Amino acid sequence: MDFISGEIIGIDKPLGWTSFDAVKRLRGAIQRRLRVKKFKVGHAGTLDPLATGVLIVCTGRATRMIETLQNGSKEYIAEITLGATTPSYDLETEVDETYPWKHITRDLIEETLPKFVGNVMQVPPVFSAVKIDGKRAYNLARKGKEVELKAKPLEIKEIEILGFEGNKLTIRVVCSKGTYIRALARDIGEALGSGAHLTALRRTRVGEIKIEDCLTIDRAVEVIDNGPLTFPDDYRILT
């Protein structure tokens, strides 16, 4: 492994971890292995703490590829609960309203979902990292301040129904950078004449990196600790 020239590591981010938590853990392992106090490590495409799955971590000079990597299409498996909404559109906040949902059939869902495929405009969640006058929207929302966000263009390439039982809908989504699956859950609920929020999310692909190619955090640290090391020819210059 040549961490300085750059490695691209696919991580299966666990539930409850922030993307920064994962990067911090790997950075610490690399710093210990290289015996340095600072080292450049970053990630391509943030995952919320309540989401799991593919997180691309780049080291050294490979951090220059972050923008290119995060521009790749993404695939998600999402569980949506119909009949209730939350301010954050997921489980970060409590249910604020309930709606009828028993009128929703699989036929209605199959008729509705194609409306979201293609080039669409989506209003991001107020509980998001979108900036308003230099401040993160989620910080304003958590303080109870009114947040108004503008719709942004994005592309949803595929939506497939994987399961529908009771008020639980599971879908597979392939989409562009910048898509909020929480906001998609909100919009699907409204289109079905109800409300909805996201109750589980797993990212299964970013660009060409699939979930089956990824390592757990512990396995990645083990590889960093014990794998063979190589260095670029100009390593002395870098140090």
- Under 8 Å CB-to-CB from 199, ≥6 apart: which residues? 79, 80, 81, 90, 91, 168
Q: How far is CA 155 from the centre of its chain?
A: 16
Backbone CA torsion sign across 235, 236, 237, 239: positive
Biggest CA–CA distance in the chain, Å, is 68
Report yes or no: 60 and 238 within 8 Å, Cβ to Cβ: no
Q: For residue 179, what are its two tokens?
A: 């898509």
Backbone CA torsion sign across 136, 138, 139, 145: positive
What span, in angstroms and rounded, lies between the C-alpha atoms of 61 and 83?
47
Q: What is residue 58's three-state secondary structure?
A: strand
Identify whether 48 is a catalytic site residue. Answer: yes
Query: Which among 48, 90, 96, 234 is annotated as catalytic?
Result: 48
**Residue 9: how many other CB atoms lie within 10 Å:** 24
CA distance to 123, 140, 145, 151, per residue, from 148 (Å): 9, 10, 10, 10
CA distance to 30, 84, 197, per residue, from 99 (Å): 50, 6, 12
Q: Annotated catalytic sites, by residue? A: 48
